[in-house]
């Protein structure tokens, strides 16, 4: 029974959209140390709550599951309630209290731990949590919830355990043990020596597994890091130190690594720091409004009504992956590699011309992950060999590590984009990943605010944009797929994040000519609630996921939001092998035309085509172009 419940719990936890990998936790929950990942312990179960604020009760199966756990010998049960860090109103908090009251009898005889994480608790949520009956312990994130410490100091219930999350479960930096020990000692005076448990701030599912697996990281950078296995060691070292058994050698080595990171010339680049600091007081907008820019771009590009394009990548075949792998392993020469990539680009260009697509892409055959590819060419980034974390479902990624100030030593994409443009007379898009997405899909340094790091990345991308323009690339796409993903959990923090995120994007392209058309692409999210920030990005054209969300995006425009730039809501879902018909795509375009002006609408798929096969891509794109042409004919006839 426990095995099946653990499997259920894993499935439930995997639905949260955060990158993660798993680690067997500390062997004892109550040895004054704890990790928030307790799935593999034989007598302790960790469950995400099945409680629904809307229904004001737990799932009917919850009581049955708890009873079965008790019968199986479980001593503790952990409920994950990160919902509590959101902006909950009094009605929702009352529903939370009522739901746990309903379980009070069922939970009798068990030690109950409720974990919250990822942000501070409000005073009201903290009061609700600590007044719950039948609860033994509270687990609080004291890394991202630093203000929660003051709530604990002002009022912590007597006789309850505090699971103090002082070791960061969401990043890969070594803990500052001296600072954490000081925090714990202050909390010990409030909670009591026998009631304080040292813990990670959240589950260790969000970080890589073990530094031991990293054989290619240099020793200095490696000394600054702690993956999941190392975090367990940190938790236990802090617990022992708190109990008077401090490992002086371990703490000394940690202090040395902390000092090394602060003083290393690899971390700080004064020129980059000054350039980023100078950005804060400026707006960085293009001088001309988008309507005038679109007119200038149309005169240069001469595109038809409902222009067609794709998002960037084309299928990455087994042969293409083999070529990249062998080049990286020095098994083929650079000349052979360049020749193979040029041949792949030519194939992609020829196919797009054959399909009669209006604005082309080079297909990105030289690229691995869309963030890793750029990080490998920027200073301030490090890379792991086995630092995989879960992205979604069974897909995993290997996020770059941003350890220092970011700059661009040399052009990154100009050669390949120029090569592709030389193969066609049609506009060729330069393809870049935006600064916010690079930031949000990396392990980010924690020694300065995230927005400062983002501004540094933006300046590096700005250099690339301007070099692409000088090389004759008139259409440049700067993808910001993860813009909404970085939105803070608390609404009070939304405005500040959106301000610097949008500013970072504008920095990248504020210096180009009116005739250079700037595109951006967004996917993976419902963007309705940040549509005004998207407008404020001031891109000339935005292509955006639409078909997978049942065209919810269009509801924004039905409700009166005005958008004067070009926009391409995706006309078919590339995540499915299904090939949409011409009629189906034409119907989607007609729905868009009901709420969007004809002169701003673009026709494109939802996302890049990297994961698809050519047998699916060719007919789908052919039908997409046919649908656009059909609508052009109908629009011309209507006139």
Q: Which one has a higher pLDDT value, 531 or 46?
A: 531
pLDDT value of residue 33: 56
Active site residue 575: yes
Which residue, 606, 589, 608, is CA-closest to 598?
Answer: 589
Within a domain: 341: no
Q: Is the pLDDT of residue 528 over 80?
A: no
pLDDT in tens, 594-621: 888 999 999 999 999 998 999 999 999 9
Q: Is the pLDDT of residue 50 over 50?
A: no
Mean pLDDT confidence for 102-124: 93
Q: How many domains does the chain have?
A: 2
Which of the residue ranges 34-43, 345-354, 624-633 would you say has the lowest mean pLDDT? 34-43
pLDDT value of residue 639: 74
Which residue, 547, 604, 554, is CA-closest to 575?
Answer: 547
CB under 8 Å to 150, separation ≥6 — which residues?
none
CB under 8 Å to 281, separation ≥6 — which residues?
none
Within a domain: 244: no
In whole angstroms, what is the distance from residue 545 CA to residue 441 CA?
18
Residue 498 CB neighbours (<10 A): 21
Q: Domain holding 478: CATH number?
A: 3.20.20.210
Within a domain: 251: no
In whole angstroms, what is the distance from residue 412 CA to residue 414 CA?
6
Catalytic-labelled residue, pool 7, 91, 532, 575: 575
Within a domain: 192: no
Residue 556 structure tokens: 């924004």
Using DSSP, state whether 372 is helix, strand or coil: helix
Q: What confidence category does residue 405 fall into, taking pLDDT thresholds of 50, 70 and 90? A: very high
pLDDT value of residue 86: 94
Within a domain: 226: no
Within a domain: 142: no
pLDDT value of residue 588: 93
Torsion of CA 282, 283, 288, 293, to 10 degrees: 130
Residue with tokens 């737990």: 58
Mean pLDDT confidence for 470-497: 94
Domain region containing 501: 283-315+353-638
Mean pLDDT confidence for 590-595: 91
pLDDT in tens, 234-275: 999 999 999 999 999 999 999 999 999 999 999 999 999 999
Which of the residue ranges 126-135, 247-256, 279-288, 550-559 would you say has the lowest mean pLDDT? 550-559
Q: What confidence category does residue 6 fall into, taking pLDDT thresholds of 50, 70 and 90? A: very low
pLDDT value of residue 25: 30
pLDDT value of residue 12: 31
Residue 287 structure tokens: 């001088």
pLDDT value of residue 554: 78
pLDDT value of residue 279: 87
Are 4 and 192 in contact by the 8 Å Cβ rule? The answer is no
Query: Containing H/E element for 350?
Result: helix 334-355
pLDDT value of residue 562: 83
In whole angstroms, what is the distance from residue 300 CA to residue 116 CA?
55
pLDDT in tens, 52-76: 444 445 666 788 888 888 889 999 9
Q: Is the pLDDT of residue 143 over 60?
A: yes
Within a domain: 274: no
In whole angstroms, what is the distance from residue 269 CA to residue 267 CA?
7
pLDDT value of residue 308: 98
Within a domain: 88: yes
Are 45 and 5 in contact by the 8 Å Cβ rule? The answer is yes
Q: What is the mean pLDDT of the chain?
A: 88
In whole angstroms, what is the distance from residue 380 CA to residue 271 CA?
13
pLDDT value of residue 167: 98
What pTM value is reported for the model?
0.90
pLDDT in tens, 171-209: 999 999 999 999 999 999 999 999 999 999 999 999 999
pLDDT value of residue 397: 87
């Amino acid at each position: 029974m426990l095995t099946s419940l653990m499997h259920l719990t894993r499935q439930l936890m995997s639905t949260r959209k955060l990158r993660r990998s798993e680690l067997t936790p500390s062997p004892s929950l109550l040895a004054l140390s704890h990790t928030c990942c307790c799935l593999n312990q034989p007598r302790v179960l960790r469950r995400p709550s099945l409680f629904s604020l809307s229904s004001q009760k737990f799932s009917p199966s919850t009581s049955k599951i708890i009873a079965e756990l008790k019968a199986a010998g479980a001593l503790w049960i952990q409920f994950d309630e990160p919902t509590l860090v959101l902006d909950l109103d009094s009605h929702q908090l009352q529903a939370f209290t009522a739901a746990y009251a309903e379980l009070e009898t069922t939970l009798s005889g068990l030690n109950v731990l409720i974990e919250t994480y990822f942000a501070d608790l409000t005073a009201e949520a903290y009061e609700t949590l600590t007044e719950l009956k039948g609860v033994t312990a509270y687990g609080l994130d004291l890394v991202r919830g630093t203000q929660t410490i003051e709530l604990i100091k002002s009022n912590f219930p007597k006789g309850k355990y505090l699971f103090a999350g002082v070791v960061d479960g969401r990043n890969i930096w070594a803990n500052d043990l001296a600072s954490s020990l000081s925090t714990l000692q202050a909390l010990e005076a409030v909670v009591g020596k026998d009631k304080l448990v040292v813990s990670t701030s959240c589950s260790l599912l969000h970080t890589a597994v073990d530094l031991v697996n990293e054989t290619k990281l240099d020793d200095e950078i490696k000394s600054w890091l702690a993956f999941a296995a190392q975090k367990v060691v940190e938790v236990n070292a802090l617990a022992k130190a708190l109990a008077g058994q401090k490992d002086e050698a371990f703490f000394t080595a940690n202090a040395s690594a902390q000092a090394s990171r602060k003083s290393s010339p690899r971390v700080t680049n004064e020129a980059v720091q000054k350039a980023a600091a100078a950005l804060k007081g400026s707006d960085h907008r293009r001088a001309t409004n988008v309507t005038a820019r679109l007119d200038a771009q149309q005169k240069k590009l001469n595109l038809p009504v409902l222009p067609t394009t794709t998002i960037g990548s084309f299928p990455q075949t087994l042969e293409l992956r083999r070529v990249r792998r062998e080049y990286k392993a020095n098994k083929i020469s650079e000349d052979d590699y360049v020749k193979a990539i040029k041949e792949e680009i030519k194939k992609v260009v020829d196919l797009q011309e054959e399909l009669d697509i209006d604005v082309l892409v080079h297909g990105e055959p030289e690229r691995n992950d869309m963030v890793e590819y750029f990080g490998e060419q920027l200073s301030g980034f490090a890379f792991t060999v086995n630092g995989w974390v879960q992205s979604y479902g069974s897909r995993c990624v290997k996020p770059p590590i941003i350890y220092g100030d970011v700059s661009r030593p040399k052009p990154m994409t100009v050669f390949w984009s120029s090569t592709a443009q030389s193969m066609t007379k049609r506009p060729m898009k330069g393809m870049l990943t935006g600064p916010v997405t690079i930031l949000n899909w990396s392990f980010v340094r924690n020694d300065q605010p995230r927005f400062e790091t983002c501004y540094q990345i933006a300046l590096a991308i700005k250099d690339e944009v301007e070099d692409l323009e000088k090389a004759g690339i008139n259409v440049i796409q700067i993808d910001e797929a993860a813009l909404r993903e970085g939105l803070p959990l608390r609404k009070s923090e939304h405005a500040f994040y959106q301000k610097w995120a949008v500013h970072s994007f504008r920095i990248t392209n504020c210096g180009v000519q009116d005739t250079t058309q700037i595109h951006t692409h967004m996917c993976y999210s419902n963007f309705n609630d940040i549509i005004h920030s998207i407008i404020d990005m001031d891109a000339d054209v935005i292509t955006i996921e639409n078909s997978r969300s049942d065209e919810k995006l269009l509801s924004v425009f039905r409700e009166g939001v005005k958008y004067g730039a070009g926009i391409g809501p995706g006309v078919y879902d590339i995540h499915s092998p299904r090939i949409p018909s011409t009629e189906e795509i034409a119907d989607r375009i007609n729905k868009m035309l009901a709420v969007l002006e004809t002169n701003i609408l673009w026709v494109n798929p939802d996302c890049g085509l990297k994961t698809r096969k050519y047998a699916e891509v060719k007919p789908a794109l052919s039908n997409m172009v046919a649908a656009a042409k059909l609508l052009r004919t109908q629009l011309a006839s209507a006139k």
